[in-house]
Amino acid sequence: MSHHSLYQRTGAFYNQNGDCDFVVWAPFRKKVDVCITHPQPQTWPMQQDDFGYWSVTLPIAPGARYVFILDGELQRPDPASLSQPDSVHGASEVVSRDFEWHDADWAGIEKRDLVIYELHTGTFSPEHTFEGIINKLDYLQQLGITAIELMPVNQFPGKRNWGYDGAYPFAVQHNYGGVQGLKRLVDAAHLAGIAVILDVVYNHLGPDGNYLNDFGPYFTDKYKTPWGAALNYDSAWCDGVRNYYLQNALQWLDEFHIDGLRMDAVHAIWDFSAHHFMQQLKEAVQALEQQTGSKKILIAEIDLNNTRYINPAEKGGYNLDAQWIDEFHHAVHSVLTGEVNGYYEDFGKMLHIEKAFRDTYVYNGNYSVHRKKNFGSSVVENPYDQFVVFTQNHDQTGNRLMGDRLGTLVSYEALKLAAAATLLSPYIPLLFMGEEYGEKNPFLFFVDHENEQLAEIVRKGRREEFAYFKFEGDFPDPQDVSSFDRSVLSWNIQENPAATMLAYYQTLIQLRKTHTALQGRGRNSMQVQGFGDSKLLVLQRTHQHSELLICFNFDKAAADWEPGVNFALTKLFDSAATEWNGPGSAAASLVQPGERIEVQPESVVVFEKHNH
């Protein structure tokens, strides 16, 4: 037995000299062999170290297929496989990690500059691949986005899946383009000045092809998650599990040059260690940043309204860069659609939108009817660019029964209003693919399980999940290929009204990037004014002597308002203008002190302080 470290890389690593290192963690096994199944079947014994890692170096070239044989009987794919070309149940493939990068001048992106575009590789382009995304980079660059966020690309069962129930965190989905395809995409994005954020799932594994339990104590029954067994982050032998996910994060950020990770539902990572896994991950990533000189961003999806995850270590926090904030979406969505069922029962009033801007967490210690308890904490000390907001994303669209997008639920004017709420906020804005031109195709939930029993469990689960939303009518079958086909973007961007919507988004993003007053990210850079029962909301954004007044009218009737400032205002932008297919602007282009401003229904007007 050799004394390796507690933390080390696992998987198959092909070296320049023609050898391949195989490493796998299986602490309770008495014997582990590597079995090469193709091109020439042969089996080799592995050596074990003190921490349960087995390793061997063999003269094996890329393209070879292999499995591990546990205790002479169980044949299993590599838990850290990079490629599963024959399905999640087939042999793993040795792949070359070599790649000729062209992004030496790229050093990552600052949080404050993020404008994120979330996309699903399979449904984003007609090619359904990484190559299909590369073909659209010019378009994304012209739109003005600065980062694409890929929904999970790790190998899943079959050919279509959202990606959140994969069982191979290290493998890149083969029909998307595999390891080389993903590296080509990252390289091309960097050359286009666009960062790449990858969505990863560190809180559970899907059931199909999940053989981790055969290798070691990856799971614990100390905790429950909504998606099955909890991963073992804090019980006996948890170091091997923590190492598995640390190595995974570093693989993407280092070897694949990816700029950041969006981590799915980290509140379901159960860890009561003195050194929380999230903190340990952040420290590993900081070390990588110093080593590479490239900025890396960690964003967590958290359903807890708790700043501990994003607070600095000196405040007892885990120091993550930012978190997703669903409540901004819920507040805007609920007011615009009138939906107050399911989790929307906590929303529906202007007060909620006002709080989403002023306090970030709408529930920051107050009583939540939906949760039937006081919920959340205050975020007064956290700058706005620690929070990612959106009015559409994969969850909020795809987890609707019919996958219907906001554009099919509200008026064209309301859709423009929602976009402005996100893009003119000081938060990190996230767009969901297609929203920028008002895509009408749904984004449905889809899977491709070979196992009919699993397919039925998924169908049943979806039905139960939507029971309390009291939906009527037919249920789209996630397993049916039509659910995938219907979710592919139409790319109808030439004709009106889509072309106008696209120009509208471009203009707002440009304004966000170039206007000084919109650069403020500190808590003191924005004042929020509500008006009781009126559906008017005014933001005052200030930064370096530059000042903007942004007036949102969420009402279906026109509103008017007196700014109460002692200086004149110049109109900069009005979503109701005819150039944006609006009914026409009602606001004057110059407003003197004491004059009132007329705001059209479901619209936004932006004024700047008039300089003589």
CA 179 to chain CA centroid, nearest Å: 20
CA separation for the pair 4, 50 (Å, rounded): 7
370 is in an annotated binding site: no
User: What 8-state DSSP symbol labels residue 254?
Assistant: I
Q: Residue 606 is which amino acid? A: V
Determine if residue 329 is labeled as part of a ligand binding site: yes
On whether 262 is known to bind a ligand per the annotation, the reply is yes
Q: Is 264 annotated as a binding residue?
A: yes
* Residue 266, marked binder: yes
Residue 397, annotated as binding a ligand:
yes
* First vs last C-alpha separation in the chain: 80
Two structure tokens written together for 290: 């110093």
Query: Which tokens is 601 given?
Result: 């229904």
Nearest to 356 by CA among 332, 382, 323, 321: 332
Handedness of CA 359, 361, 362, 366 (dihedral sign): negative
Partnered with residue 429 across adjacent β-strands are 389
399 has binding-site annotation: yes
Is 154 annotated in a binding site? The answer is no
Instruction: Look up residue 461 and give its two tokens.
Output: 């689960």
**3-state SS assignment for residue 557:** coil
395 is in an annotated binding site: yes
Q: For residues 92 and 78, is the Cβ–Cβ distance under 8 A?
A: yes
Q: Say whether 327 counts as a known binding-site residue.
A: yes
Taking Cα atoms as reference points, which of 313, 315, 342, 311 lies closest to residue 326? 342
Single out the catalytic residue among 118, 208, 264, 602.
264
Is residue 301 annotated as a catalytic residue, yes or no? yes
Instruction: State yes or no: 330 annotated in a binding site.
Output: yes
600 in a known ligand binding site:
no
Over the range 223-250, which residues count as b (16 or more CB within 10 Å of their CB) and which as e? Answer: beeebebbbbbbbebbbbbbbbbbbbbb
Q: Are 562 and 529 in contact (CB under 8 A)?
A: no
Tell me whether strands 366-368 and 322-324 are parallel, antiparallel or unpaired: unpaired
206 annotated ligand binder: no
**Torsions phi, psi of 244, nearest 5?**
-55, -45
Which residue out of 199, 301, 346, 439 is catalytically annotated? 301
Residues belonging to the binding site for substrate are 262-267, 326-330, 394-399
Residues belonging to the binding site are 262-267, 326-330, 394-399
Active site residues: 264, 301
